[in-house]
Structure 1
Amino acid sequence: MFSKTRLARLHDVMSRHVESGAIPGAVTMVSRRGEVHVDVVGAQAYDGAPLRRDSLFRISSMTKPITAVAALTLVEECVLRLDDPLDDVLPELADRRVLRDVAGPLDDTVPARRPITLRDLLTFRMGFGMLPESSPLQAAAMERSVAVGPPNPAEYPAPDEWLRRLGELPLAYQPGERWLYHTGADVLGVLLERVCGKPLDDVLGERVFGRLDMRDTGFYTSDVDRLVTAYGPDDSVFDEPSGQWSKRPPFLSGGGGLLSTVDDLSAFAHALLGGGGEVLSRRMVELMTTDQLTPEQKALSGFFPGYFDNRGWGFGVGVVTRRDGIARTPGQFGWDGGLGTSWWADPKEELTAVLLTQRAGFPDQNPVVSDFWTTVYQAVV
């Protein structure tokens, strides 16, 4: 269970961050063995209305695990297979060319050694993703609106056009060679639309949200009174409640487009912690949350050198592999959102926790995120 005295620190620490102006507000939920604690502090915007338990947050990259779960339901139904080529469904990505040098010219390429598979998309080993900022490939990706960056739904073209533009570019690396963040999840969203013959929000609604009673999760909302203001790391406004997420975007991003609430995300985390709930089998959840990266791939990959020393990547989720901090348990899985959100589940401690704030920052360098997880784990008894 939790120590009540120590759990009070979670409220105190989050309140301190609000009072200092580091964040406008925070909604937190911690749950262990049937004991659930929800706390709401601060406002929906600086000088805005009070934050609510059902306030809507842009969860950005926390969209990725949800899209992955929907894809894995199709694997369990034998509609998709992990290692089959995707050329028939995604012909834009067939017969790939691969750069000889990621920093080199776009026409200096070799043939891909094999096709892209579903496993490649789920593990971010398709050969395309977050790239060196100064490379010609990154410049070409930005030109075509297929580069990795903060979620901006209105700036993306419709799915077929987005994939066509992506298909114009060579891969940065051979399929399966290394982990490159993000793009695999957006391609996965397009794949789900084509395989299921319906928009991604309908696919996720039928395969995930409806089964887990996630009533408030979606790619846009008309209920803007509940939508928080999103801020950049420098406190500049990134998106207003009446902004990009207030209307249906042309591209539903499987990598970063969803809005959600603390209760919906807790339902998702609990389903995976409990072995899949009404969505996946226990064995599939075990596979999804097992580190899929080889030591060789980890040595070449990550957001910074040494990033994978204490973690790995499963199917759409991060996985902790080594205890080097109070809030890291081997086997723990989950993911964060760059706009100020975080959720993880810990099978050993039978614990899940969710943090929702509205100020962007890289999670590993965000004191609010770090302090949240420290206070969650110091309260465990």
Structure 2
Amino acid sequence: MEVVFIYDAVYPWVKGGVEKRIYEIGKRLSHWGFRVKWLCAGWWGKEQRKLEGIELIPVCGPLRLYSGERRSISSALSFALSLAKNAKINADVLDCQVFPYLSVFPFFRRRNLVLTWHEYWGDYWKEYLGYAGLFGRQIERIVASLDRKMVAVSETTARNLLNLGVKNVEVIPNGIDFEFIRRVEASEESLDVVFAGRLIKEKGADLLIKAMKLLPDYSCLIVGEGPEKASLIKSAPENVKFAGFMNYGYLIATLKSAKVFVLPSRREGFGIAALEANACGLPVVTINHPMNAVVEIARETGFIASPSPQDIAEKIKIAMESRKKMRRRCVDYARKFDWSVIAKKMADFYDNCGSSD
């Protein structure tokens, strides 16, 4: 069977959740006998190349994905127009990552098109783009109305799509490299609380800092980079330290040296970092928000706070007290999300799709 993924960014040139999902699933499908291609931007140049058995097919050169804190509309349009020249590519299944939406349209007539949803924004579009967000919201609704097979990476996104009238959404989550995490040794540094993520407003590191002011006896490490970093450092108390982006192995070692993972995100399509923390034996504290899919993880292996520093601080204290008895539950829960398990679910899904062109 031949599967073609459609997404502009490519791991490891761009290290985000969507491209990591394609890379991890794609390389496993290739090892299992699938022919796997990826229509993408050529972050390395114009030539086609192979990556762990995946045929990378650049349709354009490197893109400036972000304009400030927001996804670049002009880059999304440029990628979509470049894709249009490849709209007749042969495959049994075309798996298009829905965001940023415009890349769906060159293929919308193809009956073997699969739409993979990582988030559903709805009313958030206006907050993200102002009045221009009304256009984004309408494009999102048009894509959701297409009569094609759809995958959501979280129950939260699936529920939003079902509320919109979409039928038969298959939930196939993101995953983690559980066996790699299991082999990593903890770092020698001892930490109480860890946050890992891009330092933007939606991730809620500001709420964590306010909570840590109420917990002066606990240490906290905030791992990540982003436009909010300078203001966060300025507002942080002495018990909060900062680290830039870490290589993956060192991040896992750092998580294993901690006691509680906190991700008070206002918008999270899945939350791979929270699942990685579970695999390290850490309970997760997050906040209750309709766009925060980490709530699904915390229901099983952590605690859900209201979006207030006081409640976050209280849930951190409870997590610290409960962490030892929760450790096994956290690890066992994370084990179910190993990338090999997720890739098998996608392989079965693709087998049931077949080619309809």
TM-score (norm 2): 0.33
Greater strand percent: which structure?
2
Greater helix percent: which structure?
2
TM-score (norm 1): 0.31
